[in-house]
Chain A
């Protein structure tokens, strides 16, 4: 177990090193990173100051060392536009992103799990067909387009919901639905396949042989076990949602991390863009590690693999 944990943590750390190196290399690939890292329209003296600060005249390895040192001290630089440390901005927006992600996750599970179960119980039937169609549509309709359609229908035609901004519970509904839409399809697919697997197992046959009513077999015995992989995926997806919400947050002017990234592009605020990417990657590496370790605790077979 100890070896397994060490190995996994090692991999995660290695991933983080590769990540930071990737970002570092790409920023320098275009030639002169001071162009990116200095404010648009800065004076010659400012550019030179940045150059010495980043040590751009020093060897690449030294530069990388300085870069990593900055990251480890959680020093992500200052935003050109807001003139505050980027990390502060990020943390300020994070709760909004989490709120959006949680509501979106609720939507996606409320849609995905019941429809997945129905599709599995009535496999190859009408419900299964409808479920497949729904899953395909979910994967084919870009979330920002769903968002725009929602605005058109609920804000412009019906006038029921506010089209953008934040503040009241009503504001979160449409962006959350648009974001959850895509994930609902993924959760439906997984619920269906996981449910089918469980329904084919011996203990379900036994439950049926015992004469338990079908509702109890599915609702109690099968459902609980089929849910484990779905909830794991949901955990990973929750973190993913925070990081892929850029377009949805832009459509609805939702003040989350994604919107910060969009502002970063719009105002040519490079430190903001860089930080959002790095922190997004870190979050996902950490979550993957957590899931791996959790699984190893639950299922001893995994520990001895490789």
Chain B
């Protein structure tokens, strides 16, 4: 028998606005399962909602991958949002409050960064964008 996998991935394909809801529900369920209190699970769910919407808005299609992680005895939840969209021409600017090329609030990425403990973004023009965030428990 195979040993139990500690970190199992949950993948949610994002290609419609119903998938945004599905992704944040899966994220909240997973966070709760891992022992995140409701307040922190809500931060995670809200971050997932923003990241999933960015995928839909800017790339049209992509995926959100949820993975339980562990570091130095601490447990956490990693959320990776990746797409093969046009990429972000100016990441520094995209991280500024109030900046948006979509005409919406422009609070997406800087807002997400404030919801989580770790935030990483890589983007290549014409190849896509990957945002990985982590929220630690305790």
A-B complex is real? no
| A interface residue numbers (CB < 8 A to B) | none
B residues sitting closer than 8 Å to A (CB atoms) are none
